Amino acid sequence: MPIRQGDTLPDATLLRMGDGRPEEVHLSERLKGRKVVIFGLPGAYTGTCTTAHVPSFVRSMDDLKAKGVDEVICIAVNDPFVMKQWGADTGAHEAGITMLADPAAEFTKSVDMAFNAPPAGFYDRSKRYALVAEDGVVSLIHEDEPGTCNASGGAAIVAAL
C-alpha cells in the first residue's frame, strides 16, 4: 500500500554528489525535527519532469519557505551524477532544491510508489507525487496520474499548506 498521511517515512540511504564522488544521505537525518517537502518523479530529463514538475518547485520555493518548509527534496530513480547535472540544468540547485538519487529504487519501493512502463524503458521508476513530512511523519501527500503534473506540483503543495 502506498505511503499515506500519518505514516512515518522509512529511513533510506540516498545518494548525492559530493566533492567529485557520490556521498550517502540518510533521509531520517534530513527529516528529524524539520518540515520537509519531498517530491518524486519518473526520471531526470524526461518530458513532464523537466518541463513542469521541477520548474513548479523552482517557482514555489519562496512560498514554501514562507509556509515554514525547511527543505525541498527531489528524489528520482537515477544515479547521483545525472541528478547533479539535471539540478544544474533546471535551476533546481540555484533555487535550493536538494536533488537525491534513489538508484536501486529502494526508497521508492519502500513507500510503494514504484511503477513499470516497459514501452518507455521505465522499470521500477517513481510515480509522480509530492509529500510534506513533519519530523518524518507524512502530513500531506498528493499523487498525480501518469503524464500529468497538477496535484503534485509546487503551487498545489503551497495551496495545501
Spot the catalytic one: 27, 36, 37, 49: 49
Q: Is 149 a catalytic residue?
A: no
Give SS3 for 51.
helix
Dihedrals phi, psi of 147, to nearest 5 degrees: 85, 0
In sequence order, which ranges of the chain are alpha helices (DSSP H)? 27-31, 47-48, 54-66, 80-90, 92-95, 106-110, 154-160
Nearest by Cα to 44 from 110, 92, 94, 112:
92
Q: How far is residue 152 from each of residues 18, 53, 108, 121, 131, measured CA to CA in Å?
A: 28, 8, 16, 23, 8
Residue 142 half-sphere exposure, CB side, CA atoms within 13 Å? 20
Is there a contact between 141 and 153 (Cβ–Cβ < 8 Å)?
no
- Give catalytic residues, as residue numbers: 49
